[in-house]
Structure 1
Amino acid sequence: MDKPADDRRIVDPVILALTQNRLDHICRQMGWVMSQTALSPIFSQAHDFTCFITGRDGHIISQAEGLPAHAAGGGFAVRALIKAFGEDIAEGDVFLMNDPYVAGGNHLPDWVIATPVFVGGRLVAFACDRAHQSDIGGGAPGTYNGEATEIFHEGIRLPPVRIVEKGEIRRDVWQLLLLNSRTPELLDGDLQAMIGATRVGSDRIVTLGSELGITAIADIFDAVLDHADARFRQVVAALPDGVYEGDEHTDNDCFAPGRFNIHVKLTIAGDRLTIDYSGTDPQMRGFKNSPIANTYSLTYVGLASFLGGDIPINEGTFRSAELVLPPGTLVNPNPPAAQTMSTMYMGHEIVHAIWKALAQADPSRACAGWGKTVHGISTGHNAAGEPYVLYHWNALSGAGAVAERDGFHQIGLLGALGGLTVPNVEAYERLYPIRIHRHEIRCDSAGPGERRGGAGVEYEAEVHGDVVQSFRSEGLTYAAAFGVNGGGEGQGADMTIASDGQLVNDLPAYGKRSLKNPVFKVRSAGGGGWGDPRRRDPAAVARDVLDGVVSIAAARETYGVAVDGTTGAVDAVATARLRLAEAAD
């Protein structure tokens, strides 16, 4: 456990800052190793992984590389490992875990590798990565089983297990893992990449510890957490005391329409926060329930992205935030509730609810909503008879705007905050039996505003052969891309699919369909806008018109800007008349 603050040594602030930067750089180095050595495009192309470092007690001290939704809950996994193995942790060991109920997991496909770091024979840290595996068994290829009603339908469950013992791979455990994957070659290579990345991180931490000394590094790690705690308390204390509430919902339980609500009551009292999820609906039948580690993680994403700035992000940051998570609800389900979709949804809803509550405390920092996604997973066998799992990342949605900037185009997953990378089209066509016919910005999909939302895309792709399609079409009926402070909503998504030339009717939000030579046509959702569109700089509107983000008609009708479609020049006189007429109305 952390030492009481009064018992800790004072650390030179310069040494503290340099050490924090060095730890962050070690996380980035681990990330570079992951992306360069992994076999799966989920790692090498989309970068669906996170590297982080914890102290000896399992509290995150650096998470500089990867997806925020992954790392923020990583400490739960390492603390589950420490609880399971106690003092039975040796140099050269490596541990693996994924289960959300006993191993601090956020959802089953994200596996955590944790390598203990020893300096002078003493445990000082854990070098870790959490990464989404291509396939871990379960009822659907690619693991997202929209028909799951309990966790046993979703893939192999792993408590903390020792996968490397004193430098030697445990071949029995390794074979067990490969046997439970439809893509064992990818899993084999990716696990080796994950272990290799944590070994690189471990070596760098050993060097750091040898330079600073065993006692000093422990004190500095504690000071890193204390500093983040103090900075976040300053930010919270600057907000007005009060009780602020926010709601967001999903409109289905993966099987039928309905309203399933996340409710947040956020209480600010001095430099402390209480985030109470009482009033959130009971856990659902489908696989969107959010286990504790995921709910903590996405709550932290919502707080940090709204209040961020120069606040260090580690587990000390959120000591002053108390979460109330009623058991048996969407944010703290009782086992064996299904939960694989939770990192996306309920993750999306949790962040939106936090943002809506915080916007009441500080409207100037309000964040517009991000569009929900419709991209699914195609699985099958290529011409060589090898299995593949293809994520249609190129059909992602747009992000919401904030006061300082427009929303990002085609960035999608809210919990990733842009950390996922849209794969290169040419690389995808080389790796998979796919031909992408169209991939471009969707005009007028972005929510209008003084700061414009991010645009969605128009995506058309053909997958060759027999395909099992796993649908994850959350955004088809409810985009959730709300505008703030006078900004407009982002446009919702739509999708058509043809199988062997015949249109597929009644596309499910979730579930599986067998298709032949399917052609996908997707118009993904845009993000919400921030502020009155009539206050947007006419030059920015003209640039959007030239970029195909905004049409000439929308520029005139929504933004009050007259743009020459040939030259892209703003007609200043006509624009002034349009805006004066609007003001008069």
Structure 2
Amino acid sequence: MTMPIPGSEVFSSRPVDPAELLRSLPPSLPVHTVTQEQIDALDPLTYEVVRHRLWSVTDEMGEALKRMSGSPIVTDANDFDFAIGDELGQEVQVGLYNTMLVGAVDLAIYWTLQHRALNPGIAEGDMFLCNDPWVGGGLHQNDVIVYQPVFHEGKLFAWTSAICHEPDLGGFGLGSFSPAAQDVFAEALPTPPIKVVRGGVLQADVADAWVRRSRVPMLVGLDLRAKVGSNTVGRNRLLAVIEQYGADTVKAVMKRMMADAETRLRTKLSGLPDGTWKATGYQDQSHSGDRDLHKITLAMTKAGDHLSFDFTGTDRQAGVINCTYAGMRGGVMLALLPVLAGDIPWSAGGLMRCFDLISEPGTINNATFPAAVSRGPIGPAWLTGTLVAECLSQMLDRSVDLGSSVQAACCGTWDTAVLAGLDERPAQPQPFLNVMMEPMAGGYGGRPTADGIDTGGLFCIPMGRVPDTEMTEFLYPLLMLWRREEPDSGGPGRHRGGVSASVAITPYGTSLPMGLVLASAGKAVAQNQGLAGGYPGNTGVEVLARGADIAAEFAAGRIPASLTELGEGREFGQCYDESFLAPGQVLYMHWQGGGGYGDPLLRDPDAVAVDLREGKVTIDAVEDLYGVIITNGEIDIDGTAARRDQLRDLRRERSTAVDTDAPRLDLTNARRLDDNLAEVTVGDAHIVACAQCGYALGDNRTDSELRLARYEGPSRDAGPQVTSDPGVYVDAPVVFRQLCCPSCWTAIYSGIVPADHPDHALELARLVPAAAQ
């Protein structure tokens, strides 16, 4: 008999209908439900008290997980999450840690109810383990979830879950990242839901089989027990709440939490203009040896109180840069939670009712089995979230009340580096494996009212942290030469993107070369684009300093503090690569900052001077990107005005000619579209004008595109944040594209993109509602 591939039959075509799922459950699995009348009868005080008790239960689960785990990924970097779901697994309360996982947890529970209810059964005291990204729970095999049903008086009442990234679960590559993989069989083994705790007892055979696959079985075994412990805490605390307030009351609160989140988000959406916004992003390379670009394209439509995310046109699955449906959904939640639901309790089960997904199976963000998916969450899922955030920000930017949630792209990906070898410091040398967590210190994107947060973290892990340097050096035979913020890494803009950081690390305590796996993106094409004319943040780069002789430097009393001090023989790490790091050599990593918001020539010169003084920008960026002249520490006001005029003249001279005979409009009653664009209604015409000078850029009666001057040149024209030549990584031509108002030469769009990148920024339809077309 041919068995279906687990997960392939469930989520690729349509979302799960909770009512249908409930009807499908066998009589042997009774569930606890409440009526709408019971939900409506809740008094406000009880609702708030119980709601906050449930919130505290999830927080306590997270603390239990952190205290029991031995993995720095959990204890230092906070790359984990947890949740409470209702009887069907709909997420009632989620954690504030890795928010991408929010889009996948409930899928694993749905699948378990559909496929495990009869065999082996779902009973009190059971827990399930899963790392199958086609089923859900996580976004790739290293995301391992342990989840449990919670019963009350013999009925299934709720589910709790705990999930974290495991440092290694086997497979060809170190850390289970296999840069050359072409299918899942070269990666860590995906495991569909399996009962790891039965009747409250951890199953030794299952646990032994689980840790056997890993290069670091002790850490994986500790994490398994930590997740079991976290769920135990969740069950005990949840049952205590039920004991105090009654099962019907607690369940009614759970249902009301999801309904309230849904209502509040739908109300917010109803107050925003209908329309369609588009964005396209790229993965540079799909596996080691590849030199192609692979795109994800999104058309987000908002109609009434509902969103639709249409990814039709995304490239076919390739190499290791694939994620499953769970990853695509997780990427949407990555953006939706902070951008649209920052002021709404994160009852994700309600929030996810407000959107639908349209995608072709077999694409890089909806991959079908047996695609390689080890890069899933930090590749296509993350890029999906960045594109969703871009579309949401364009929609919100025209709202006076909600514009504070607008944000340019944050750090565009996670730069993965895995080092493994032999630690010779102990009397008995031991193998080690370290997933470098320093890239947690990414830069946030600029906003209409504020700069991005410098090394503020990652968009998808609000509570993320970088590990302690001394702890890294204690645990592994490594020495950090530096870990510091890097100037110019934040995208230039009226509000600057947050800067990122770099680290230089060398073997210390071993005489043998250590294996190195690299997996990243955003080295050729920017993944941290700006908004409203803001420039992208820096492109990522990894360099292996093969000619460094650290022992000789130390013997001479010197500690190298820059790449130029590390000798010759530098080797650029490809996006996907397997290599080595020998004693005396240095690995340099510089990950991405945030994109800028608004034209950098409109930035307050005083803010530029502060940035220079604090080391956020270099003098070259001050003069050539911001057009500010500083002499003897003081701003030269006249010199700054003249320099900014020169830079605008440069934009004019290098750009294609555009007719400038269009009228200049009165902007007194104009409606804001973004920092540099406004809509003026004249009779039955809807005219888009430059918000800086009033020049009419497009009329809905006669134009389909805005009349913007266009420039394309080498990516280094974007500024010193472009740290390497795109030709090192890809064959396709990559350009710095800038679109400007042809009257005042304000930058309307600035990006580092492939030469054939679609010009979404020119489309008039994205700015003028369809009803006005």
Structure-1-length-normalised TM-score: 0.92
* 2:761 aligned partner: none
CA contact (8 A) 2:184 2:370 kept: yes
| Range moving further from structure 2, 512-521 or 323-332 | 512-521
CA contact (8 A) 1:31 1:65 kept: no
Residues 1:378 and 2:419 aligned together: yes
- TM-fit CA distance, 1:564: 6.6
Residues 1:454 and 2:454 aligned together: no
Deviations 1:13-38 (A, max 9, x none): 33333323222222221111222221
In structure 2, do the counterparts of structure 1 residues 354 and 409 end up closer, same or farther at CA, with 3 Å as the change threshold? Answer: same
Residues 1:367 and 2:407 aligned together: yes
Deviations 1:468-519 (A, max 9, x none): 1011132332332211113222122333213474836463321312332241
In structure 2, do the counterparts of structure 1 residues 424 and 234 end up closer, same or farther at CA, with 3 Å as the change threshold? Answer: same
Tell me how far apart the structure 2 counterparts of residues 183 and 157 of structure 1 sit (CA, whole Å): 18
CA contact (8 A) 1:137 1:154 kept: yes
| Range moving further from structure 2, 550-559 or 472-481 | 550-559
Residue 407 of structure 1 is aligned with which of 447, 452, 455?
Answer: 452
CA contact (8 A) 1:266 1:357 kept: yes
CA contact (8 A) 2:136 2:326 kept: no
* 2:78 aligned partner: 47
Residue 349 of structure 1 is aligned with which of 374, 383, 387?
Answer: 383
CA contact (8 A) 1:496 1:503 kept: no
CA contact (8 A) 1:97 1:113 kept: yes
Alignment length, in residue pairs? Answer: 578
* 1:575 aligned partner: 637
Deviations 1:372-426 (A, max 9, x none): 454411111212432222122224542322224322333565433x443111111
Q: For residue 176 of structure 2, give the secondary structure of its aligned residue in structure 1.
A: coil
* 2:752 aligned partner: none
Deviations 1:84-136 (A, max 9, x none): 32263222222111102235541100000112222333322112111111111
- TM-fit CA distance, 1:522: 2.7
* 1:63 aligned partner: 94
Tell me how far apart the structure 2 counterparts of residues 345 and 44 of structure 1 sit (CA, whole Å): 24
* 1:513 aligned partner: 579
In structure 2, do the counterparts of structure 1 residues 77 and 275 end up closer, same or farther at CA, with 3 Å as the change threshold? Answer: same
Residue 515 of structure 2 is aligned with which of 462, 468, 480?
Answer: 468
Residues 1:112 and 2:156 aligned together: no
Tell me how far apart the structure 1 counterparts of residues 101 and 61 of structure 2 sit (CA, whole Å): 15
* 1:308 aligned partner: 341
CA contact (8 A) 2:544 2:572 kept: no
Tell me how far apart the structure 2 counterparts of residues 458 and 563 of structure 1 sit (CA, whole Å): 27
Tell me which amino acid in the other structure corresponds to 1:77.
A
- TM-fit CA distance, 1:357: 2.6
Tell me which amino acid in the other structure corresponds to 1:81.
T
CA contact (8 A) 1:492 1:525 kept: yes
Tell me which amino acid in the other structure corresponds to 1:167.
G
Q: For residue 28 of structure 1, give the secondary structure of its aligned residue in structure 2.
A: helix
Deviations 1:223-268 (A, max 9, x none): 1111111111111112211222221111211241222111112221
Residue 367 of structure 2 is aligned with which of 333, 354, 362?
Answer: 333
Residue 193 of structure 1 is aligned with which of 226, 233, 238?
Answer: 226
In structure 2, do the counterparts of structure 1 residues 324 and 180 end up closer, same or farther at CA, with 3 Å as the change threshold? Answer: same
* 1:267 aligned partner: 301
Q: For residue 379 of structure 1, give the secondary structure of its aligned residue in structure 2.
A: strand
Residues 1:208 and 2:208 aligned together: no
Tell me how far apart the structure 2 counterparts of residues 506 and 493 of structure 1 sit (CA, whole Å): 11
CA RMSD across the alignment: 2.4
Tell me how far apart the structure 1 counterparts of residues 46 and 444 of structure 2 sit (CA, whole Å): 38
* 1:9 aligned partner: 39
Tell me which amino acid in the other structure corresponds to 1:382.
D
In structure 2, do the counterparts of structure 1 residues 325 and 580 end up closer, same or farther at CA, with 3 Å as the change threshold? Answer: same
CA contact (8 A) 2:137 2:143 kept: no
Deviations 1:154-198 (A, max 9, x none): 112211111111111111101101111111111111111111111
Tell me which amino acid in the other structure corresponds to 2:530.
G
- TM-fit CA distance, 1:142: 0.8
| Range moving further from structure 2, 213-222 or 118-127 | 118-127
- TM-fit CA distance, 1:8: 5.5
Structure-2-length-normalised TM-score: 0.71
Tell me how far apart the structure 1 counterparts of residues 396 and 96 of structure 2 sit (CA, whole Å): 29
CA contact (8 A) 1:560 1:575 kept: no
* 2:185 aligned partner: 152
Deviations 1:288-331 (A, max 9, x none): 11101111111122223322331222121120211112111112
Q: For residue 162 of structure 2, give the secondary structure of its aligned residue in structure 1.
A: strand
Deviations 1:272-299 (A, max 9, x none): 1111111111111x11111011111111
* 1:27 aligned partner: 58
Deviations 1:40-93 (A, max 9, x none): 111111111111111111111111231101123211112222223226322222
CA contact (8 A) 2:127 2:198 kept: yes
Tell me which amino acid in the other structure corresponds to 1:43.
V
Tell me how far apart the structure 1 counterparts of residues 274 and 603 of structure 2 sit (CA, whole Å): 33
Tell me which amino acid in the other structure corresponds to 1:484.
L
Tell me which amino acid in the other structure corresponds to 1:427.
M
Tell me which amino acid in the other structure corresponds to 2:516.
Q
Q: For residue 338 of structure 2, give the secondary structure of its aligned residue in structure 1.
A: helix
Tell me how far apart the structure 1 counterparts of residues 310 and 212 of structure 2 sit (CA, whole Å): 42
Tell me how far apart the structure 2 counterparts of residues 466 and 553 of structure 1 sit (CA, whole Å): 39
Q: For residue 27 of structure 1, give the secondary structure of its aligned residue in structure 2.
A: helix
Residue 615 of structure 2 is aligned with which of 533, 543, 548?
Answer: 548
* 1:246 aligned partner: 279
- TM-fit CA distance, 1:538: 4.3
- Percent identity (aligned): 27
Tell me which amino acid in the other structure corresponds to 1:559.
Y
- TM-fit CA distance, 1:563: 5.0
In structure 2, do the counterparts of structure 1 residues 250 and 4 end up closer, same or farther at CA, with 3 Å as the change threshold? Answer: farther
Tell me how far apart the structure 2 counterparts of residues 272 and 554 of structure 1 sit (CA, whole Å): 42
* 1:234 aligned partner: 267
CA contact (8 A) 1:377 1:470 kept: yes
CA contact (8 A) 1:72 1:315 kept: no
In structure 2, do the counterparts of structure 1 residues 9 and 34 end up closer, same or farther at CA, with 3 Å as the change threshold? Answer: closer
* 2:569 aligned partner: 503
Structure number with bigger Rg = 2
Residues 1:440 and 2:484 aligned together: yes
Q: Give structure 2 stretches of 5+ with no counterpart.
A: 1-17, 20-32, 549-567, 649-773
Residues 1:74 and 2:80 aligned together: no
